[in-house]
Structure 1
């Protein structure tokens, strides 16, 4: 009996054309966020610690302004609506697994997918600066301090029943890509997949993924 495909798709820089956390930091944060970002990308600082420290640079009073800003700049990658429709037509479970934060992830994705199919980090605005909460922390098999631990989420689904497909673009998708049966990658994730010899299929638009899922190769 063949395995049922199941898709785990990143949000920032994958569904959206740009990384919303980076965009937020460039627009609102003091310069020290750059050092934190570089340390996360080089893996000298965990994603959880790095993202937590980045948002702690921002006053909680900026919440509504940040939401408005992300809605303005959070352009959805071409073909995403068609991709959603294709997964529904083919009865392929789709989960969004995001290192992003609920207060800007949900407003962008609400027109496309139910919140119970979205894994992301949470937020607390009751303090002076933005406090990030981690409801999907690493399980006993992961010590990377991921924040929203994508490999831990993948492990919740039976590998004997599911063909696990990961779609992503950055360092936050790397550990999930290592566990996936199939990887669709772009940007920094391509570099890491090539370094570690993880098989992947490159994509620019979600229509590329639809065609590949259908077994149609580009001309």
Structure 2
């Protein structure tokens, strides 16, 4: 069996709901909703949309927003067991997230090493929250992803690697196109069907483990 790597989304995949959407619903003025719709319909890039949404929020709200998300975000059933499973099997697990460091890292603390977390960063030095993009698109991607999941995959995996992508939304579509196996829920299912990408649906990470174990049996 080829060397395996797992690339897993965070918002709406590891967590039960999308934390950026939760932040916007709670703290942002109503303009955020049009921006979100333009991202989902691919009228504007993910990078532009996320940047614009966070620029609606004053930096003075940093602590309140951070505390709200850490208190309200729920980790999807089976994730801790899934992390343990990947370690037992020796499968590298990378979190590739369009989310932001100030809530992604605290929610994954004690589960995933920070070196295996790829996400966007927030700058609170101005009046409004400014998003930084340390994982920009490489020369093979011009989608303005923000956190470019295909670029991260190309950087970490080689042609021999069996690449498993787990995700839930439009932000995972380009990664799914590179994957050998896609495990999907919610909007990513719709996008995979539109693009004729084979996938296995999941609701919990117990489902994900079952899907991966079935491959072990047949491989």
TM range (shorter): over 0.9
Report deviation, 1:50.
Answer: 0.3
Which has the larger share of helix?
A: 2
Deviates more, 1:207-216 or 1:166-175: 207-216
Distance 1:157 1:70 in 2: 30
TM norm structure 2: 0.97
Report deviation, 1:159.
Answer: 3.2
1:13 aligned onto 2:19: no
Distance 1:119 1:25 in 2: 22
Q: Deviations over 1:132-186 (max 9, x none)?
A: 0000000000000000000000111343331000000000000000000000000
Aligned to 2:121: 122
For the aligned residues, what is the CA RMSD?
1.1
Q: Which runs of 5+ in 1 are unaligned?
A: none
Distance 1:158 1:179 in 2: 11
Distance 2:79 2:102 in 1: 21
TM norm structure 1: 0.97
Aligned to 2:177: 178
Contact 2:101–2:122 under 8 Å retained in 1: yes
Distance 1:130 1:40 in 2: 19
Distance 1:123 1:158 in 2: 27
1:142 aligned onto 2:141: yes
Q: Which runs of 5+ in 2 are unaligned?
A: none
State the aligned residue count: 216
Aligned to 1:164: 163
Report deviation, 1:212.
Answer: 1.3
Contact 2:55–2:129 under 8 Å retained in 1: yes
